[in-house]
Structures are given as C-alpha cells and as structure tokens.
Structure 1
Amino acid sequence: MTASERSLGIMARCQGSHFVDKGYYKKLTLYGRKHGIRVFVFSPRQVNFSTRMVKGFEYRNGSWHAKEFPIPAFIYDRCFVGPSYRHYKPFVEKLQNDRNITFLGHGLSGKWQVHQMLAKSPLLAPLLPPTEIFSYPVLQATLEKYGAAIIKPMAGTHGIGVVRIKEVRSGYEASGRNRDNQPFTRRIRDTAGLKSFVSVFTAGRKFLVQPYLELHTPDGTPFDVRVLVQKNGLGKWATTGKAVRLGDKRSITSNLHGGGKATPLASFLPLHFKSAKAARIEQSINRVAEELPRFLEESHGRLVELGIDIGIDTAGNVWIIEVNSRPGRTVFRMIDDPTAQLHSITQPVRYAHYLMKERVGG
C-alpha cells in the first residue's frame, strides 16, 4: 500500500490556516500516527486535480504546519453545510466522483430529505413529528390543529433560526433564536402581524413546520438526548454514547451552543420518570440507535457516524428530532464519560483502517 493509500484527509472549510475543531483533528492525527496512518486537514478548494496534489495542514511537533500532500485515498468529510457551502460544493462533488478516493461517509443533504427517508421505516415513522415544508397556509393549519408550531431552517445547525409560534390571548407569541443565535420573544397582535413576521424571518431560506412538542422538564428546562453512533474497526455500527443536553429556560432548544449543559442519560431519566416508564424510554432510544443508521444508510449511501437527537415529551413519548452526519463530541467531555469521549475520537480512524484493509484484500 502506497503512502497516499495510508493517508486520511480531513476535509474541512479552511480560511487560510484557520479551521474549527483543531483539538479534535489533533487527536485524530496522533491516534492515526500510532496505526501508521497519516492524517492531515485540507480544504476541497485547495485540491489540484491536474497534479493530484493538495495544500493542507499537518500536526507535528506541537503545532500545525502547512504542506503539500498527494490527494488522500480516504477522506473524512467534516465540511459543514452552511450559507457559504456553495463555494465548496463543486470541489467536494469532484472528489466524490473520483474513483481513486473513498469517502468514509457522505454528508446528509438536509432535514427534509432525511425526514422523507426515515418516514419509509415502519419502526421509525411513528417517532417522527408531523413535518411539512413551510408556507404561511401550512403554518396556519398547524396552529389551528395544535395551538403551537415550530419553524426551523432546512439546513440550520446549533438551534439557530428555530422558532416556536403559539396562540395566546392577545394574539401570538414567537420565541426562539435569531440568526445570531440570540434568544428572543416577540408578541404579535394578529394574523397580519404574524404573516409579516414569518415572511421577514424566513426570507431567503427554506424552512420546515412541525407541531410544537413539550420537550422539557416539569420546571420548563428544554432538553433532548444526543446519541452518537459510529462505524467501528470492523465496519459495523456501534453506539458510542448517550447524553442529555439541557437548555436555558429562556430558550426552546437545548443546543450546547446556546448556553446549554449536559448530564448522563442514566441519571437523568429516573429523576423525571417512574422506573417502568424510564426503562421503556431507554429501550425505545436503544431501538432507534440500532435501527436508524442501517435504515438511513440503505437509502442514502455510506455513512461513517451520526448524531441522533431524540426528544422525550412530558408524557414520556420518544421523538426523533434531528439526525446530523457531522456530529460534535463536546457533550461527552461535559458529562465526564472518558470511554465515550475516547471512542468518539478514535472510531473514524479505526473505520478508515478497516476500509484500507478491505481495499488491500479486494
């Protein structure tokens, strides 16, 4: 196997030498080195397809160094989708279509597409909140039926742009997080005001509409369960860890970027549910963790890891809220789960090593 075939390129959105998650990529590099795998970070915009070389960064001797590398045989896609992704997309697609390159997994395309895939599973479909593409008539119909609705961006992250709209005595109340991820609450007098508000708020972006679910503790603290599932060194799906993310009471989401906290699932459930119900909830979460990755991969194509966000309403019903193919790992450090934290970092390299052996074997 050549040096380029023993290399793992972490594809990220680099602005010069600036890129996020340097601490995570450093650990990946050091773990890869122990197993004879060269790991480096690069931007898809810095690939020269004529020379088959790419400008990137490698962690050596305590710091990151710029260097030119052969295009790696294996790529770990951490190129987060956002407003500027269109500048990267053509280069990403060219790499994906290169026969000599294997992606550990392909990023999910969007919340709506994922919802449509999961809705085909008899086991998972009942756990999906009713979801439709946003339009003002759809929002009105949802409010009339449920009294409260959520609108969320199709391609949003970190809870940014998620808004709850509910009917109140004086009209409507909109509360959530704006584009700067700041919490806000606004009173709206009538339907004309509501139409004006959502028109301005959603301008230029596609949104989804769902009924508002009571996903909070009795004292009003929003929470969800983050389940991290990853491919292991045998190419099989395994659950790395489960943790509860608790949000700010002023917020409707529990995302850590909005000032949230984390706690272990095992200690959280008995505090808020009777033992029989807590056991059923955990059993349901485990079924989702086992079924969802395999089912989604059948429809979508190869995946390497997923962050599954699961909601539990006040009645103890379990809901699949969101699935992320580029999940964070902070939550396991926050709950002091060293095993989950270690696996969350090492599993992508173990899976890459498995694919390398498969390629040699094939």
Structure 2
Amino acid sequence: MKKVRYKMGKLGKHLFMKKYSRISDLLPDTMAATRSNLNHMLRTYNALYLKPDEGTGGRGIYKISRTENGFVLRGGTTSRNYATADALYDSLQQLINRDKYIVQQGIEMLKHNGRSFDIRVMVQKNRSGQLVTTGIIGRLGRANKIVTNYHSGGTPLPISKLLQSHLSGADLANYIRKIETLGREASSILAISYTNKRAFGVDIAIDTKMKPWILEINTGPDMSIFNALKDKTMYKRILRYAKF
C-alpha cells in the first residue's frame, strides 16, 4: 500500500484526526470560518477562536465572546463590540476571505495566578523511527492577551509549576505522564499522513474540569522555547533527537 502524504492546514489536520475515535472527543469543534458556520458556532458555544488556517506563532488570532448585548471581538489587547453575528462577520469578511480562517470552539482554560496557560508537548522520532515524547513545557499567557505563544509574549514555565495549584504529589506526576502520552498518541495519528516528518509540537489546553484538549499539532515545531527553561535537560535531549 502506497504511503500517503498530505500538506494540511489546521482544518485539514483536524478533519484527519477526527476520524480516529481514540482522540476525536479531545478535539475542539473546528470549522471553516464561513458566515453560516460562524452563526452555528456562536449559537453553540459561549466563546470561539478565529485562527488563520496556516498561521503560526499566535499571529492573527481573535477571540469572540458572547455578552449580554451581543458579541465582543478581541485581538491582541484591543476589543470591539457587535450587536449581531452578521455585523461581526461583515467586519471580518475581508480578513477571513484573504487569509482563509477557521473558527474553533473556545476552551475555558485552567489558570495559574489568574492567567491562562496551555502546554506544548514535543514528540520526535528516535533512530528506529519510533515516536518519543522528548519535552513538555507550559506557556503562561500575558495578562489581557488571548494567546499564550512564546513569540506573542507567553512565558515558558515548567508544567509542574503551572499545575501545582491544581494537583500535587502522585496525582500531579500521573497527570503529566498522561499529557505526555496524549501528545505521543496524537502525533502517531498525524504521522500516518505526515510520513516524512520527524518532529511534532502538540498544543494541549486543560479545561477547568481537568480535561485535556488537543488544540493543534505543529509539524514544524519551534524548539527554542525549551531553551528558555533554566533546566536545559529537555532542550539538550530535543537537540540530540533532531540529529537522528
């Protein structure tokens, strides 16, 4: 059987992974950002994210939240209010059509000191071609910013520090192992399509009920974020695996 290779944006990756039942319920609802899809998602969820289908580094991302008087659109540190979903879409239509956007279910993310954070799991192939989790790091968002990305001002921190106000002892250690395993599992599914990729960066959010959500998998992950940690053990391991 011939191996299949795809070049997919966020939506393509989502639709591919959604076919696999072992992770499908951990994927936030994601659709192309058409007017009808946006209206449907606004009726279904209290918060949404608009993301460029092929964007990286947290650039061009917007958050939409429902308010008593309509909707608020936030991008960077600015916000605008709209009375209706149509008015909201009309203001975004040119941007959406130009850059091909997706709309994604907003996750009520776990917080540390009142600030949202997510997790990047680095998964790489070893000499034998087997996928191994080589790093895990937390990204703490800046106050009043809607993204946690390192290059958008997010602070890289050990995941144990971000989770310690929610879990402790064996529960904390077991949960971190669970996230590491989830990152490897999700990467193994995407690797069915991306057969030539040797590294995957899995972005995982944890909601207020401690459920992990696979937000996105980057097939060209930035490794420099791990160098921001004081302990360089993970970064050195990642660099070593990058040579295989």
Give the TM-score normalised by structure 1: 0.62
Distance in 2 between the 1:277 and 1:132 partners?
35
Cα 1:144–1:346 shift into 2, 3 Å = same
Equivalent residue number for residue 223 of structure 1: 117
Q: Which consecutive residues of structure 1, in runs of 5 or more, have no partner in the other structure?
A: 1-105, 178-182, 352-362
1:259 to 129, 143, 153: 153
Decide whether the 8 Å contact of 2:50 with 2:103 is kept in 1. Answer: yes
The match for 1:118 is 17
- CA shift for structure 1 position 253: 1.1
How many residues matched? 240
Q: Distance in 2 between matches of 1:123 and 1:265?
A: 24
- State yes or no: 1:130 paired with 2:29: yes
Percent identity, please: 30
What is the deviation of 1:123? 1.4
Q: Kindly state the Cα deviation for residue 260 of structure 1 after the two structures are TM-superposed.
A: 1.1
Distance 1:192 1:112 in 2: 23
- Residue from 172, 177, 188 that aligns with 2:71: 172
User: In the alignment, what sits opposite 1:146?
Assistant: 45
Q: With structure 2 as the length reference, what TM-score do the two structures score?
A: 0.89
1:191 and 1:134, CA in 2 relative to 1: closer, same or farther beyond 3 A? closer
Do the aligned partners of 1:222 and 1:251 also contact (CA within 8 Å) in 2?
no
Q: Which residue of 1 aligns with 2:102?
A: 208
What per-residue deviation string (whole Å, max 9, x for no partner) do you get for residues 175-207 of structure 1? 124xxxxx3211223344212222133231211
Q: CA deviation at 1:299?
A: 2.8
Q: Any residues of structure 2 matched to 1:1-362 within 5 Å, and which?
A: 108-177=7-76, 183-217=77-111, 219-273=113-167, 278=172, 281-349=175-243, 351=244
Provide the C-alpha distance between the structure 2 equivalents of 1:192 and 1:208, rounded to a whole number of angstroms: 17
Q: What are the Cα deviations for residues 127-185 of structure 1, in whole angstroms up to 9, with x where unaligned?
A: 101111111111111111112221111101111111111121232100124xxxxx321
Alpha carbons of structure 1 residues 192 and 115: separation in structure 2 relative to 1, 3 Å: closer
Tell which has more relative contact order, 1 or 2 (C-alpha 8 A, sep 6+).
2
Deviation string, structure 1 residues 311-354 (Cα, Å, up to 9, x no partner): 011221100011111111222122223121112222222x2xxx
Distance 1:186 1:134, change over 3 A: same
Spell out, residue by residue over 1:20-76, the C-alpha distance to the aligned partner (whole angstroms, 9 max, x if none). xxxxxxxxxxxxxxxxxxxxxxxxxxxxxxxxxxxxxxxxxxxxxxxxxxxxxxxxx
Determine the C-alpha separation between the residues in 2 that align with 1:146 and 1:332.
Answer: 33
* Distance (whole Å) between structure 2 residues aligned to residue 121 and residue 208 of structure 1: 21
Residue matched to 1:21? none
Asked if the contact 2:202–2:214 (Cα under 8 Å) also holds between the matched residues in 1, the reply is: yes
Aligned equivalents of 1:238, 1:110: Cα separation in 2? 24
How many Å separate the matches in 2 of 1:190 and 1:219?
A: 34
Q: 1:79-134 CA deviation, whole Å, 9 max, x = no partner?
A: xxxxxxxxxxxxxxxxxxxxxxxxxxx88531112112211222111110111111
Write the distance in 1 (CA, Å) between the matches of 2:12 and 2:32.
Answer: 11
Measured on the aligned residues, the alpha-carbon RMSD in Å equals 2.1
C-alpha distance in 2 between matches for 1:290 and 1:160: 26
- SS at the partner of 2:215? strand
